Amino acid sequence: MSLLEVRDLRVEFGTYGGLVKAVRGVSLELERGKTLGVVGKSGCGKSVTFQAAMGLIPAPPPAPAPSSSSSACGSPRPGSASITTRSSSPAACASA
């Protein structure tokens, strides 16, 4: 039985410069009693991966109503995040 299972994790952040795909397609599994080490270069997504898996990245606030003076034209708002994954919830894993 897996303590933590994450499949196809994707995290995106909206910035003034456009959409940043911070994590793309990460999958991992951690069995009870085992240790998982994650290594990588600075900025490669290690922290964001596990913050998303633990539900620590806040959902973006609701988008304001569009106005005629808006220059965003449908682009993501700065500070917004989009997280998609097929995984067990951290709470369900912790209680297993």
Say whether pLDDT at 76 is over 50: no
**3-state SS class at 49:** helix
pLDDT one-digit tens code per residue, 26-58? 999 999 999 999 999 999 999 999 999 888 988
Domain boundaries, the chain: 2-64+74-90
CA distances (Å), origin 73, targets 16, 23, 43, 69, 91: 12, 25, 29, 10, 38
Q: Classify each residue of 33-64 as buried b or exposed e, where b means 16 or more C-beta atoms within 10 Å of its C-beta.
A: eeeeeeeeeeeebeebbbebbeeebeeeeeee
- Is the pLDDT at 70 greater than 60? The verdict is no
Each residue's pLDDT tens digit, 8-23 = 999 988 888 888 899 9
Total-model pTM: 0.62
Query: What beta strand segments (E) does the chain contain?
Result: 2-15, 18-31, 80-87
